[in-house]
Homo-oligomer: A and B are copies of this chain.
Amino acid sequence: MTMKLIKADNTEATTAGITDEMGDELARIGEMAKKYGVTLRTLRFYEDKGLLSPQRDGNTRLYTHREETRLKLILLGRKIGFSLRDVKQMLDLYEPAGSNVKQLRLTLDKSEKQLARLNKQRQAIDEAIGELNDVMKVVRTKLDEQRPMPVAANG
Is A80 in contact with B128, judged by CB distance below 8 angstroms?
yes
The answer for the CA separation of A140 and B100 in the assembled complex, in Å, is 12
Q: Count identical subunits in the complex.
A: 2
Interface residues of A in 61-115 (CB under 8 A from B): 76, 79-81, 99-101, 104-105, 107-108, 111-112, 114-115
Q: Which residues of B contact A76 (CB under 8 A)?
A: 131, 135
Is B122 in contact with A80, judged by CB distance below 8 angstroms?
no
New A-B contacts (6) at CB < 8 Å, excluding given A76-B135, A122-B122: A79-B131, A104-B142, A112-B136, A119-B129, A121-B125, A122-B126
A residues near B (Cβ < 8 Å) are 76, 79-81, 99-101, 104-105, 107-108, 111-112, 114-115, 118-119, 121-122, 125-129, 131-133, 135-136, 139-140, 142-143, 146
